[in-house]
């Protein structure tokens, strides 16, 4: 009859830390950056876009964070993006819904070599 005379033990219940959940865009962006983890952070890429009307456009000298940003927008079917180049003062608006092929290719030069030029 020792069942009812057993002393109750306190069990500490650890509450998980409140981690901020990532938005679908942020989760997609982080996953894509992970795909490029074999490349160092100085590696630059060219994003080649082919539109449904056959037009092609290259976004060159992009960091892997920029690649992830563009691809995440495409994956989530964003209506469009706007990219602004600070040095050149040129902006490019792209309707990603019209892009049928998006390829990413590492460039030969890194950020350091581009800055030195």
Average pLDDT over residues 39-58: 95
- Domain range annotation of the chain: 40-98
Mapping DSSP to helix (H, G, I), strand (E, B) and coil, where does residue 39 land? coil
Q: Model pTM greater than 0.85?
A: no
Q: How far is CA 78 from the centre of its chain?
A: 14
Task: For residue 48, give both structure tokens.
Answer: 């080649």
* pLDDT, tens only, 75-102: 998 887 776 666 777 777 888 999 999 9
Q: Which residues contact 110 (CB under 8 A, 6 or more apart)?
A: 40, 42, 43, 44
Which helix (H) or strand (E) segment is 64 a member of? helix 64-75
- Beta bridge partners of residue 57, listed in sequence order: 49
């Amino acid at each position: 009859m020792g069942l009812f005379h057993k002393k109750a033990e306190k069990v500490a219940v650890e509450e998980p830390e409140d981690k901020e959940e990532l938005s679908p865009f942020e989760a997609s962006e982080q996953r894509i950056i992970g795909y490029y983890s074999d490349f160092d952070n100085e590696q630059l890429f060219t994003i080649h876009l082919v539109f449904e009307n056959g037009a092609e456009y290259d976004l060159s000298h992009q960091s892997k964070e920029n690649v992830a940003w563009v691809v995440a927008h495409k994956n989530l079917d964003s209506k469009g993006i706007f990219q602004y180049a600070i040095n050149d003062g040129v902006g490019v608006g792209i309707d990603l819904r019209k892009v049928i092929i998006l390829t990413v290719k590492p460039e030969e030069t890194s950020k350091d070599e581009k800055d030195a030029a």
